[in-house]
Amino acid sequence: KLPVEFVWNPEFGRDPYAAYAALRKKGPVHPIEFPPGVEAFLVVDYEHGRRALNDPRLSKNPFEGPEAFRAILGQGNPVLAHNMLNSDPPDHTRLRRLVAKAFTPRRTESLRPRVQEITDRLIDAMAVKGHAELLDDFAFPLPITVICELLGVPVEDRDDFRRWSTALITPPFDDEQILLRVEANAAIRAYFLRTIAGRRAEPRDDMISALVLARDEEELLSEEELVSTLTLLLIAGHETTVNLIGNGMLALLSDPGQLRLLREQPELLPSAIEEFLRYEGPVERATFRFSTADMEIAGVHIPKRSLVHVSLGAADRDPGAFDDPDTLDITRADNRHVAFGHGIHFCLGAPLARLEAQVAFGTLLRRLPDIALGCPPDELSWRQDGSLIRGLRALPVRF
Ligand code: HEM
């Protein structure tokens, strides 16, 4: 069995792909002690990973999980447990339909001018300094401002949102982390209940008001599901697009040939973004599922109520699915990466994330034409908290 240290050590943080490649040579599925005390498995190839993401025997409902996992979940009223991402059909279908309208490619495209405006303002502030910490100065504020405006919550509250968001997605393995999680659960619930009450009294033209209407007039979702859906949408804007910008920028700035190519052929931007998603996707392992029956994956027996981690990062570096998987190639054709997942839970926000990334990368390269890393790549540090998200702690740049 792989020990928890497999995913929780500095070396893995620096280069998980080498560890995955060594593992993949032994087989696609491995038992792993993560979280500690929980019966869990790790899938590291593309074929079985992709299939697992869409296997109806693998539930997203955390209450279907192993006893030890439910005990962890019980530490704090789980505000994240009652939304589309953490449910199966028919609840999943109902909850996803309620917000899907807001995230269609066409509705999303209409946000482009506003995304451009926010991007330009952030770059204006950076440009005068000649250097920046790209995550705090740019990659965080951009998607957070967009999602706050979409939902209808004040962007001034974003420091609270970021703190709560981090507490809710960090694995709660020690007492301090458990406490932070319990507090974040209570705070975010109180925040949204207050906001919902405000919209009941005085509706506006925003997503919260629309969902309140769906709840009150058509009873399409419960109050708990409403709060949980808002929490999911808020968090989805925090740890994902942020790291697409950070990880993608690091990959690009570390590869002078690819950087030059993208500068010379800006029309490659959409395919470059798909390649950043494949090469260094942000949602590394935050795609776990729970077996609802005894089953087998690639000949490995998975008992009922096990936790199954599908590593998107490992799948997207599988040489069985991609030529030269460890090479960044912004011209890569037929890039069928799984960075946005696969199947019924495929990322609802993908059109928005792609739009934000197009505007972000396009504008950064155009307005800061000599942008470069502010330190050697090996001085950068990756989050190493057993996090299921792949992201840097900071990304200094100069221009
Ligand atoms: C689901 C990735 C941005 C909203 C997912 C899943 C992945 C993912 C892998 C599926 C998880 C699973 O199957 O277990 C990403 C990446 C993003 C990103 C890589 C940025 C680069 C966003 C944004 C939003 C969003 C900006 C919206 C504000 C959602 C929602 C789901 C989801 C609502 C749940 C869909 C469902 O359960 O049906 N995302 N996401 N995501 N994402 Fe994203």
* C-beta atoms surrounding 312 within 10 Å: 30
Q: With a 6 A CB cut-off, is 321 part of the ligand 1 pocket?
A: no
Which is nearest to 207 in space by CA: 158, 156, 154, 152? 152
Ligand 1 atom with the shortest distance to the CA of 312: 9
pLDDT at site 321:
98
Q: Residue 148 gets which letter from DSSP?
A: H
* C-beta atoms surrounding 335 within 10 Å: 17
Helix-then-strand count for the chain, H and E: 18, 10
Evaluate whether 114 touches 204 at the Cβ level (below 8 Å): no
CATH of domain 4-398: 1.10.630.10
Q: With a 6 A CB cut-off, is 165 part of the ligand 1 pocket?
A: no
Going from the Cα of 283 to the center of ligand 1, the distance in angstroms, rounded, reads 9
Determine whether 51 is exposed, middle or buried from the number of CB atoms within 10 Å of its CB (0-12, 13-18, 19+).
middle
Q: With a 6 A CB cut-off, is 282 part of the ligand 1 pocket?
A: yes
Amino acid at residue number 308:
V
Find tokens 């000599």 and name the residue: 370
Q: Which protein residue's CA is at the shortest distance from atom 43 of ligand 1?
A: 347
3-state SS assignment for residue 300: strand
Q: With a 6 A CB cut-off, is 244 part of the ligand 1 pocket?
A: yes
Q: With a 6 A CB cut-off, is 242 part of the ligand 1 pocket?
A: no
Structure tokens at 56: 């109806």
HSE on the CB side for 356, CA within 13 Å? 27
pLDDT at site 341:
98
DSSP string, 168-203: HHS---SHHHHHHHHHHHHHHHHHHHHHHHHHHHS-
Ligand 1 atom with the shortest distance to the CA of 289: 14
Q: With a 6 A CB cut-off, is 181 part of the ligand 1 pocket?
A: no
- The pLDDT profile of the chain, 399 residues, written as one tens digit per residue, is 999 888 888 888 889 999 999 999 999 999 999 888 888 999 999 999 999 999 999 999 988 988 887 877 766 668 888 999 999 999 999 999 999 988 888 889 999 999 999 999 999 999 999 999 999 999 999 999 999 999 999 999 999 999 999 888 877 777 888 888 889 999 999 999 999 999 999 999 889 999 998 888 888 899 999 999 999 999 987 789 999 999 999 999 999 999 999 999 999 999 999 999 999 999 988 899 999 999 999 999 999 999 999 999 999 999 999 999 999 999 999 999 999 999 999 999 999 999 999 999 999 999 999 999 999 988 999 987 667 889 999 999 999
d(CA 150, CA 14) in angstroms, rounded, equals 35
pLDDT at site 34:
86
Ligand 1 atom with the shortest distance to the CA of 357: 21
pLDDT at site 36:
82
d(CA 246, CA 261) in angstroms, rounded, equals 19
Q: Which protein residue's CA is at the shortest distance from atom 39 of ligand 1?
A: 347
Amino acid at residue number 88:
D
* C-beta atoms surrounding 93 within 10 Å: 12
Each domain of the chain, given as residue ranges in start order, spans 4-398
d(CA 7, CA 3) in angstroms, rounded, equals 8
Contacts for 250 with CB less than 8 Å, ≥ 6 apart: 280, 373, 377, 380, 392, 395
Cis peptide bond upstream of 143, omega within 30: no
Contacts for 302 with CB less than 8 Å, ≥ 6 apart: 29, 41, 291, 294, 295, 296, 308
Q: Which protein residue's CA is at the shortest distance from atom 36 of ligand 1?
A: 345
Q: With a 6 A CB cut-off, is 352 part of the ligand 1 pocket?
A: yes
DSSP string, 329-359: -TT-SS----TT--GGG--TTHHHHHHHHHH
d(CA 222, CA 227) in angstroms, rounded, equals 9
Ligand 1 pocket test, candidate residues 208, 340, 356, most atoms within 8 A of CB:
340
Ligand 1 atom with the shortest distance to the CA of 286: 14
The pairing of beta strand 40-43 with beta strand 307-310: parallel
